[in-house]
Structure formats: structure tokens, C-alpha cells
Amino acid sequence: MKNMKLILSFGLGLLMLAPVVQAGPVTLQASAPITITSTPIKVTDLVTHTNTFHLDSGARVWGDLQTVGSKLQLPSLNITSAFLQNADASKSFEFSEILAGNWSEGINWQEQWRLAPVELDAGNWTLSVTERGYGSKQYSSYQAKFGIVPSAANVPEPQMILLSLTALAAMGLVMRKRRSI
């Protein structure tokens, strides 16, 4: 009986260690996921805002951008373009508009833009957003969120699978011996 408890404890211990056993980096050291919020505007001119963030290591990154109103009001801000560019301007990635308002029918619409997952190098990246406020009495702004797509390094290693199967087999053996006694 004492041996069965020991084997069961050993099997459970191996099973608990299984998620820890992985080769290579598990997480990317980066400033993302991040959220960038613009300063609320009330102007009618076409303006471009830029925000810079730093990526500590290369990663596959996605991005979402949406307009935000104030006090439960729909925004009165029309984004005309949005793109992400590296420090030396050698790489640039455009956002696509996925939800647009019909500005000829009114001055308050929610807009959403998306950056499909792209490979970004380590370093500084600048988000440039060009927008026009429609001069309502309320302030509007936009909010951008970036995240890192999980890499293949997070896929379980064969050693982890083998360790898990060994733990399950040990527990199964203990259960089988317990039933036969």
C-alpha cells in the first residue's frame, strides 16, 4: 500500500512538472501587447498623430485601431489612413478599415481598422494615424492595441509529451494494482 502511494505521488509530480518542460524561449521579451490612446481632438483639420513603441525582439505582431467618443457618445472622428513604420522607414505596414461610417449621412460614427499579423524586427516602430475631426462639441480620439502572435516555441516539446504519458501510465498502473487487491 505504501509503495502504491509512493508511485501515485511520483506520477502526479511528473504530471505537474510536464507544462514546465519546454525547450527554447517561452515568451518574447517585448513591450507588446500595448495600448496607445490619442489625445482627444475637436478640430476639423486633417491631422496626423504619431506614437512610437519599442519591440525588444522580433515578433509576429497584430494591431487593432478604433475611434472612441466621449461620455457614451459615438465619435466624430474620421480616420483616413493608419500605418506602422520602422525607425529608418525601410518597412511600412498599412492598416485596413474594417468598419466605416457614412460621413455624408451624419457626424458620429465608430470606425475600426486592423493590421493583419506581420513580422516586425526588434527596434522602434511608429504608428501614424491621419484623422479629421468633424467639429462637434465633444472630444473624440482613437485607441490602438498591439499584441504578439504566439510563436511555434510554445508548442509542446516531445519530451513534455513523453513525460506526461509516463506520469499517466504510472498512475494507471497504481490504479490497476489497487483494483486487483
Please compute the mean of the pLDDT values over residues 77-81 and round it to a whole number.
86
120: burial class by Cβ within 10 Å (0-12, 13-18, 19+)? buried
Residue 84: predicted pLDDT: 93
Amino acid residing at 175:
M
Full-model pTM: 0.61
Q: At what angle do helices 2-17 and 158-180 cross, to 10 degrees?
A: 160
What pLDDT shows up at residue 27?
28
Q: Give the Cβ contact number of residue 134 at 10 Å.
A: 17
> Does residue 19 surpass a pLDDT of 50?
no
